[in-house]
Structures are given as structure tokens and as C-alpha cells.
Structure 1
Amino acid sequence: MTKHVQTISTLRAAAWARGLTQEQLQRVELETQDRFYSAGEIVCHKSSPATHWIGVVEGMVKVDVLAADGRSTTLTGVSNGGWLGEGSVLKGELRPYGVVALHDSRIALMPSHTFHYLVAHSLSFCHFMMHQLNARLGQFIALAESYRMHDINSRVASCLAEFFNPQLNPQTHPVLHISQEEIGRLAGISRQVAHRALHELEEAGLLHIHYGSINVLNIEGLRAYVREHAE
């Protein structure tokens, strides 16, 4: 199957690819698949085998966990240029979450055997993966801290700021095409409470709210807001 030109461009421009040899990069391009997912389509199910490292070429996906009573909680979102699922691929375990396209998305799927080949043969890829896993750990520590120590507004600010984490989401556009309901799921609050928090952040000059999207005006301002409300 011929890959989309944007997928090839994304693979070559990825931070983890910069130290690969030409032979290694050619192998990655040959073996990595790509697929288009419509909004709402499942990229991978919870408890499915971790057969691929997942990259977002274009669009946005959410990482979900489903409670026994059927309630869904969104752990994080990943946008253009971001990669996810490395922990499950490294451990060869079933995925403890599901991944769903938030809107129409093109996804790169690097087979687990290609991923492990890079781990075994590329020191630069291993260095990238150390930074990736450290960033992922920091993300979830911040999430736990947010639930325990922050007020509602700063929790929403923290969720938005995470979309601009340069390690995990290197190409996020300032206009996030994400619903207030999804922001609420990320922050662990209802859509109505998320709506009020977003309006307060808008009044603080940090963002603009539009129908179906949020224009982030001041990323560092969001991070500062979170720090100030953690004190």
C-alpha cells in the first residue's frame, strides 16, 4: 500500500528520526503503515495487543479508559507530530486504554518489531525514548497533582497546556479543535463546569472560545496560571 506523502514527511521530520542512519530510516518508512480514521473511530481498543507504536500525522486522538459502570475518562490528547503507546510496546503487554480519533485523523502505525529494532540498534532513538517516557511520567504526575491540589480553573488550564508539551505534542496548532465536553473529560469535570472554567480563562486573556474549538493565546500564561494556583 502506498503511503500518504504527509506520512513520509512526518516520519522523516520526527525528533526520534534525526539520529537514524539512512538504512534505519528506510526500514522505518518501508515497514510503518498509515491509515485514515474518521472522527469517533477507534484506533485501538482497550486490552488489545500493543502491536504498533502510534503516531499522529494529522488530526487529534484521545486516550480513554472505561470504568466498569461504562463511564469514560479521557487521560490525555495527542495531536500532530505526537506519538503514543510506547510503554505498552516496550513491555509487550495489552493496552490498558483505548485510543479514539477526536476528529478526522491520519495515523502512522510503526510495527512493534520495527520499534524494537530501533531500540536495539539506535542509541539516538533510545535517548529519545528516555525523554519520551520521562515526559509521559511528568504528564501523569502533573495530572495527579492537578486532581489533588488545583482548583477547577487551573485543572482546565493544565489540560490545555499539556497539548503544547514540546516532547509529547511537538506540532500542536494554537487553535484546538476539541469540544468543551472533551475538555471536561480531560479535567474530570462536567461539560457545564468546563464551560464556566473556560470562560474565566478567556476573561483572563489566555484563550478565545469558538464553537467547536479553543484558540490558545498564551501558552506560557496557562502554565503560569497552573503554577500560581498550586501554591
Structure 2
Amino acid sequence: MSVTRWVSGSSGVQDGPWSARTLVGRLAPAARAALLRAGVRRTYRSGDVLMHEGLLETHVVVLENALAKVTALLPKGRHALIAIRVSGDLVGEMSALNNLPRSATVTACRPSTIRMIGRDSFRTFLRDHADAAIEVAGMVAERLRAANRRRVDFASYPAKVRIARALAEIGASHGHRTPEGIAVDLEITQSELATLCGTADITVHKALHDLREAKLIDTLYRGFIIRDPEALRTTAKLTPQ
């Protein structure tokens, strides 16, 4: 399990840290404070939708103290899990930059506080803070790289390996240590996990059963626990940590 570095909110606009993996965590203190000041603070309950796929709206959202999942609608009413976003992440930047409808829905996974920033204010911020604009470009590039890697995984690995990879990577990015293992407190349905891995629901059900039988994971109502992270990474054909 990699160690996540945290950056404290020294600007006084927020009462907590952000992971250095996130956009807000990467910004210099002055740029961080300017970005958060540009937004209107709003709160949401778990299950509330922050952004709706298909709507023509151009504001961006900074997840100030939040956890959210990004999904896209598939035929027959299924939803594809695209990504998980955490405190410090930016969402909605594509519509703000290209003025096209939302490409996905963003839903709060727990009570969350966000900063909503209008398109003009966001663009002014990028013009005034060149280093921040470079970080935003880097963030978009990283998300494109992750999407490309997922396509390669679809062609390179069988379904069970792809499912193990998804669980291991979600655990590394969003899990926390407990006496039982690495706990992930995310309400991800088996159907959403299936779409993330490009497989059928029944295949996910069987793979999770096999991983439980091997004592690599335990599944919970709202998440899962990785009992043996290194063994799961071996199953996932990922390099040891």
C-alpha cells in the first residue's frame, strides 16, 4: 500500500487536508486559495447528484470535502462506473473547456461539501495562474492515460484478472488500513464494477465469490475489505508494492 501525502489547507478557506494526488493538493497555496474563493460552497447528502449526464452546463466543481463516483448511462438502463473522485479533485472540466453537454453523472457517495465555480470564473483563474493551468492539463492527461490503460487491460487480461486489478487499484487509491485489512467504504454495485471491468454481472459475482473463498477479500454492504493486498496484486498481475 503506497503512502498518500497530504497538504493542509493553510489558506484558511478549508478545514482539512487534500491528497497530493489531487488537483487542489498539487496547487501552490496562493493558487489553491484563489481557486476555492472563486467557488460557491454547497453541501450534498449521500446519493445526491452533483452533475447530470447530458445537461448543457459549464460550471466546474471542486470536491472540497467529498467522495463521489462518476458514471455514464449505457443501453437498457445500466450505468458504467468510470471513476471515483475524492476531496481535492476537480470534476466537470470538460464541459467548461469545450462547452459541450456533460459526458457523465457525478454522485456523492457520502455527505459532501463542494465548491461550484462558474465557467467564466474558472477560465479567469486559469489565465491568472499559469502553473495551475498546467496542473489542470496534467490532470486531464492522467485521466486520458488511465482510460487508455483500461482499454489495453480489456484486450490483455481475462475478466477475473481485470476485476482483481480494479479492486486492488481502488484499494490503493481509496482504502484505509484496519485490523482486518484494507477497507474501502464505497457503495459500488456489482453492475458498476462489471462495467468498469468490461464484463458481465454474473462474471463479477463469480469472481468475487472466488476471491472471498481464497480469503483475498471480504465484501460488505457498502464496500469491501482487501484481506491480503499482496496476494490480490499477484492475482491481478500487478507488480508488488
Q: TM-score under structure 2 normalisation?
A: 0.71
Tell me the CA shift for residue 95 of structure 1. 1.1
Query: Is the Cα–Cα contact under 8 Å of residues 139 and 162 in structure 1 kept in the other structure?
Result: no
Aligned equivalent of 1:128: 135
Q: How many residues align?
A: 219
Q: Which residue of 2 aligns with 1:186?
A: 196
- The equivalent residue for 1:146 is 153
CA distance in 2, matches of 1:101, 1:19: 24
| Compared CA separation, residues 69 and 121, structure 1 to 2 (3 A) | same
- Deviation per residue, 1:61-102 (Å, 9 max, x gap): 222222354332222222333332323322222212222223
1:8 aligns with 2:17: no
- Could you tell me which amino acid in structure 1 is paired with residue 187 of structure 2? I
Give, as a single letter, the amino acid of the residue that structure 2 aligns with 1:109. Answer: M
Corresponding residue for 1:62?
69
AA aligned to 2:108 is A
1:48 to 33, 42, 55: 55
Aligned to 1:137: 144
Distance 1:116 1:60, change over 3 A: same
The aligned counterpart of 1:175 is 183
Distance in 2, matches of 1:51 and 1:194, equals 36
Task: Output the aligned Cα RMSD.
Answer: 3.4
Q: Is the contact made by 1:180 and 1:195 (CA closer than 8 Å) also made in structure 2?
A: no
| Mapped partners of 1:216, 1:37: distance in 2 | 29
2:83, 2:208 → 1: CA distance? 18
Over 3 Å counting, the alpha-carbon distance change for 1:16 and 1:97 in structure 2 is closer
Q: Using a 3 Å threshold, how does the CA distance of structure 1 residues 117 and 227 change in structure 2: closer, same or farther? A: farther
The amino acid across from 1:78 in the alignment is R
Go from structure 1 to structure 2 and tell me whether the alpha carbon gap of 1:50 and 1:10 turns closer, same or farther (over 3 Å shift). Answer: farther
Identify which of 118, 121, 139 aligns with 1:114: 121
Structure 1 residue 125: deviation in Å? Answer: 0.9
Give secondary structure in 2 for the equivalent of 1:93. Answer: coil
Aligned residues of 1:54 and 1:107 also touching (Cα < 8 A): yes
Q: Deviations over 1:104-125 (max 9, x none)?
A: 3333323322322232122321
- Shift of residue 46 of structure 1? 1.3
- Residue 98 of structure 1 corresponds to 105
Is the Cα contact below 8 Å between 1:16 and 1:124 reproduced in 2? Answer: no
Specify the alignment match of 1:196 in structure 2.
206
Q: For the residues of structure 2 that align with 1:180 and 1:21, how far apart are their CA atoms?
A: 37
Q: Structure 1 pair 13/97, CA: closer, same or farther in 2 (3 Å)? A: closer
What residue in structure 2 maps to residue 3 of structure 1? Answer: none
- SS of aligned partner of 1:139: helix
Stretches of structure 1 lacking an aligned partner (at least 5 in a row): 1-5
- SS of alignment partner, residue 39 of structure 1: coil
Give the partner amino acid of 1:116: R
TM-score (norm 1): 0.74
